[in-house]
Amino acid sequence: MNVIEIKNLTKYYGGSLGINDVNLEVKEGEIFGFIGPNGAGKSTTIRLLLGLIYPTSGEAKLFGKDAIEFGPEVRKDIGYLPSEIFYYDKMKVIDLLNYSASFYDKDCTKRIKEISNIMELDLNRRIDDLSYGNKKKVGIVQGLLHEPKLIILDEPTGGLDPLMQQKFFNLLKEENERGATIFFSSHILSEVQELCNRVAIIKEGSIVEVEDIQTLRENNYKKIAVVGDDLSKETFELDGVTELIQEEDELTFFYKGDINLITKALSSIDAKDITIEEPTLEEIFMHYYE
Ligand SMILES: Nc1ncnc2c1ncn2[C@@H]1O[C@H](COP(=O)(O)OP(=O)(O)OP(=O)(O)O)[C@@H](O)[C@H]1O
């Protein structure tokens, strides 16, 4: 079954484009990544899915039901973590979470405690005493406390330190093993790669690619920079090397291919420093979609 089905979905904000003719299907049990640079249309797509805004044309279905017409019904099965969270600051964390839980027809007390323990969130603090990262944790508990069938996350990791991010990802993996489908929006390729089975790439309001993560990984470029005294460009004129640029004592290039070939070339030189990093999404877009 498709948990999310988006057909020819278009949204204009007055004259300005949000998304254009988006088509997507997310199957039950998938962890689906939705990646694209700032302003690409990720939040717009999510707001349309949640029935928070109306489409200009096209439709979005959740669990086979129209996102607008059946909004209140389908939203009970959705856990949503927005990118920005605003709270009534004077409340205590536990009071806010109990209030959120009151919208669902089940007892969420146990789950609130479990997730707060995992995320190390103090339930007795006042919201306005919390740091940005701790407020984010409140949002996580709020999104997951009712054991939703579909979890929609809009750039969820901002403000979490690496340890907390790992705990959060483990929590999401457990939710997925329990049967939840996850729709994960991000502009950070590495976190999408760690978590997701399949990804859609959105750019300037349109889907440019839907790929499984394995394919994306195989197609992935490395961005390599080498610093040394007697570097020669010829050493790196190999298959799979592009954008080879030499500036004073530094050589930079992109590489895609057998990693052993490039490590051999790197070990043949007298280097002072080497960095190998993931290209930014924008750089990947440049290579894939020029
Ligand atoms: N309320 C609005 N009014 C007018 N234009 C909007 C509105 N919300 C979004 N947009 C425009 O729609 C486009 C898509 O924005 P959206 O927020 O969906 O992108 P995003 O991929 O979520 O980006 P970010 O990562 O920066 O949140 C952008 O050009 C944005 O300026």
Domain residue spans of the chain: 2-218, 222-289
CATH for 2-218 is 3.40.50.300
Counting ligand 1 atoms within 8 A of each CB, the residue from 9, 10, 12, 16 with the most, and so the one to mutate, is 16
Smallest CA separation from ligand 1 atom 2, residue:
13
Q: Does domain 222-289 have CATH number 3.30.70?
A: yes
Three-state DSSP state, 41: coil
Write down how long the chain is: 290
Largest CA distance in the chain: 70
> Do 157 and 121 meet the contact criterion of CB atoms below 8 Å apart?
no
pLDDT (0 to 100) of residue 290? 47
CA distance 189 to 148: 25
Average pLDDT, the chain: 91
Beta-carbon count within 10 A of 179 CB: 10
Distance 288 CA to ligand 1 centre (A): 23
> Do 20 and 265 meet the contact criterion of CB atoms below 8 Å apart?
no
> Do 144 and 175 meet the contact criterion of CB atoms below 8 Å apart?
yes
Phi-psi region of 29 (alpha: psi -120 to 50; beta: other; left: phi over 0): left
83 vs 219, more confident: 83
pLDDT (0 to 100) of residue 84? 79
Distance in Å from the first CA to the final CA of the chain: 35
pLDDT (0 to 100) of residue 215? 75
Q: Considering the chain, what percentage of its residues have pLDDT values greater than 70?
A: 95
pTM, full prediction: 0.82
199 vs 83, more confident: 199
Lowest mean pLDDT among 82-86, 150-154, 202-206, 274-278: 82-86
Q: Where are the alpha helices (DSSP H) in 70-225?
A: 71-75, 93-101, 109-118, 132-144, 162-177, 189-195, 213-218
When pLDDT is cut at 50, 70 and 90, the band that residue 288 belongs to is low
For the segment 217-234, the average pLDDT, to the nearest whole number, is 86
For residue 154, which atom of ligand 1 is closest to its CA? 22
For residue 205, which atom of ligand 1 is closest to its CA? 14
- Residue 203: alpha-carbon gap to chain centroid: 14
pLDDT (0 to 100) of residue 189? 78
Distance 38 CA to ligand 1 centre (A): 8
Smallest CA separation from ligand 1 atom 10, residue:
18
